[in-house]
Amino acid sequence: METTVRTTHHAEAAAAFLRDEENVDWHNETLWFVRSKRDKAATLLPEWEDLREQASRIKNHALSRLDDYLVELEKNAQQNGITVHWASDAEEHNRIVLDIMRQHNATQVVKSKSMLTEECHLNPYLIKHGIDVVDTDLGERIVQLRNEPPSHIVLPAIHLKKKHIGDLFHQHLGTDAGATDPQYLTEAARIHLRQKFLLADVAITGVNFAVAETGGFVVCTNEGNADLGAHLAKVHIASMGIEKVIPKGEHLGVFLRLLARSATGQTTTTYSSHFRRPAPGQTMHLILVDNGRTRQLASPDFRNSLKCIRCGACMNTCPVYRRSGGHSYHTAIAGPIGSILAPNIDMKQYADLPFASTLCGSCTNVCPVKIDIHQQLYKWRQVLGEAGAVEPAKKVGMTGMDVLFSRPSLYRFAGRAGRRLMKLFPSLANNGKLNPWAIHRDMPKPPAQSFRDWYAEQEKK
């Protein structure tokens, strides 16, 4: 029996977001501005396109020897005194984190940005087990105080205006009522979070790149929050998806040149820290997480998505993301890349996402590691169609189209009848209740005859 789930989730959420058009325009323009900064940064490197190609090939290579590199990473990391853990799924990852915390009698955690821990829903898990977990990236702290997930992987609070944040900080941090100056609000967050950094037992960070050759890993931030957390706490836990490993240190040069330029148009992040050994008196843990990645790797159509370095460029350029907001994607990683990663984790829950695109292809062009994002969206649609995971109405419609277009005479008849109907009842065609197209747009005026009919007449003459 075919199981079908609702596939209009993104459309509904997008429609809700679109109700505040002024805000949508702001969101759209702000992200486009980030895309423009990316363009400017890329223009300044004549080798930009070759750099993308090189990054793509390094990642392709790393994935083709992923087992070897993970084993090498593990061996070298262990030699350096890092404890390495392997987690098959989110649940196991979260359990490992909790176990480490309990070993150290830790109750206070500061966390820097890690999309993997978002994907694993680590925060609610830790909170349920009595751990006080504080996100320290400013944007992440803002959404955490609002009990929301981030809406963008690089700009977590981009869906909010400073007024919202001013109100939020007034309520939680005691800033002046009505104060909205970003400088002032950031200072308040700095003071608030500095205390958290000083008191934390454990710091959790993500990993931008892990290097097999050295057994170390690199974490990039602009705020310095990953470093403050990791260097002050007794225990540093770094979580990474298994696809983050690259072979050698020299490969970092390629990726670090691409990452910040693609993400925000900066030539580099402010801090690019290379961790290789715990400092004296501290312990360091590295958790290698699968959570569906080996499944994605085994699929020739979709493994390419594992090259992602989480720069967010595909979101900033996406005309759909810019106007629907990150939350409309209802997954940890929004936007085009999220729409090809999420169905691998749960095909039914995320069946709508590959359809939340016009397949315009801009995402593929900005991707610094050359993931064929829009092609994968198309391929996911076929997989979902085959699996019966799209709306039945859509399938009935498509079957009808096949019947119509496979039979030229039927097509001619239907066309003629349709044009006549539209002419007889123009209000019907332009009725938004019957035809969603017509809610905001007019239907074309039906012409007297089709091209084919005209052509046949000409031939007779």
Partner 1 sequence: MSRERILSAIRQGKPDLQPLPDVIGFPSNIADADLADTFLTMVKTNGGIGVRANSLDDVRAQIASEYDLTLPTLSHVDGLDLNNFTPTENLRLLDDLNLVVLEGSVAVAENAAIWFNEATLGIRALPFITLNVVAVVSARNLVGTMHEVYKRIDLNTGFGTFIAGPSKTADIEQSLVIGAHGSKTMTVFLMP
Partner 2 sequence: MKVGLFIPCYIDQFYPQVGIATLRLLQRLNVDVTFPMEQTCCGQPMANSGFQKLAAGCDRNFIRNFADCDAVVGPSGSCVLHLKEHLHDEQHPTEAAHLRNNVYELCEFLTDVLKVEQLPPVRFPYRVGLHTSCHGQRGLGLSSASELMKPKFSKPEQLLNMVDGLELISLAHPDECCGFGGTFCVFEEALSAKMGKDRVADHLRHGAEVITGGDMSCLMQLEGTLRRQRSNVRVMHIAEILTADA
Q: Which of residues 410-439 bind partner 2 (CB under 8 A)?
A: 411, 415, 418-419, 436-437, 439
Determine which residue in the list 23, 129, 201, 271 makes contact with partner 1, applying CB under 8 A. 271
Site for partner 1 in 128-167 (CB under 8 A): 136-139, 142, 155-158, 161-162, 165
Minimum CB distance to partner 2, residue 152 (Å): 17
| 64 versus 399: smaller Cβ distance to partner 1 | 64
- Piece of 14-22, 210-218, 318-326, 429-437 that binds partner 1 (CB under 8 A): 210-218
Site for partner 2 in 49-88 (CB under 8 A): 49
Minimum CB distance to partner 2, residue 148 (Å): 21
The option from partner 2, partner 1, none interacting with 30 (CB < 5 to 8 A, set by class) reads: partner 1
Q: Does 176 bind partner 1 (CB under 8 A)?
A: no
- Among 52, 35, 49, which Cα is nearest to 362's? 35
Distance CA 424, CA 436 (A): 20
Residue 12 identity (one-letter amino acid): E
104 backbone dihedrals φ, ψ, rounded to 5°? -100, 10
Minimum CB distance to partner 2, residue 6 (Å): 12
- Among 413, 377, 246, 197, which Cα is nearest to 302's? 377
The option from partner 1, partner 2, none interacting with 228 (CB < 5 to 8 A, set by class) reads: partner 1
Place of tokens 């890329």: 42
Determine which residue in the list 6, 15, 99, 425 makes contact with partner 2, applying CB under 8 A. 15
Site for partner 2 in 103-122 (CB under 8 A): none
- Piece of 121-129, 274-282, 322-330, 415-423 that binds partner 1 (CB under 8 A): 274-282
DSSP symbol at 446: P
| 49 versus 68: smaller Cβ distance to partner 2 | 49
Q: Does 87 bind partner 1 (CB under 8 A)?
A: yes
256: its two tokens: 């670090």
Q: Does 378 bind partner 1 (CB under 8 A)?
A: no
3-state secondary structure of 214: coil
The option from partner 2, partner 1, none interacting with 217 (CB < 5 to 8 A, set by class) reads: none
H-helix or E-strand containing 431? none
Task: Tell me if 291 sits within 8 A of 120, measured CB to CB.
Answer: yes
Determine which residue in the list 382, 420, 431, 434 makes contact with partner 2, applying CB under 8 A. 382
Determine which residue in the list 15, 16, 71, 401 makes contact with partner 1, applying CB under 8 A. 71
Q: Does 398 bind partner 2 (CB under 8 A)?
A: yes
Task: Tell me if 127 sits within 8 A of 104, measured CB to CB.
Answer: no
Distance CA 286, CA 239 (A): 6
DSSP symbol at 317: H
Minimum CB distance to partner 1, residue 413 (Å): 50
Minimum CB distance to partner 1, residue 76 (Å): 10
Paired sense of beta strands 283-289 and 82-87, if any: parallel
CA distances to 57, 377, 403 from 400, in Å: 43, 24, 5
Site for partner 2 in 305-364 (CB under 8 A): 317, 319-320, 323-324, 354-362, 364
- Among 150, 120, 123, which Cα is nearest to 138's? 150
Minimum CB distance to partner 2, residue 436 (Å): 4
Place of tokens 């083709």: 64
| 164 versus 395: smaller Cβ distance to partner 2 | 395
Residues forming a β-bridge with 218 = 209, 274
| 247 versus 426: smaller Cβ distance to partner 1 | 247
**How large is the C-alpha radius of gyration of the chain?**
25
Q: Does 442 bind partner 2 (CB under 8 A)?
A: yes
Distance CA 341, CA 302 (A): 9
Site for partner 1 in 278-297 (CB under 8 A): 278-279, 281, 288, 290, 294-295, 297
In total, the chain counts a number of residues equal to 461
Paired sense of beta strands 132-135 and 283-289, if any: unpaired
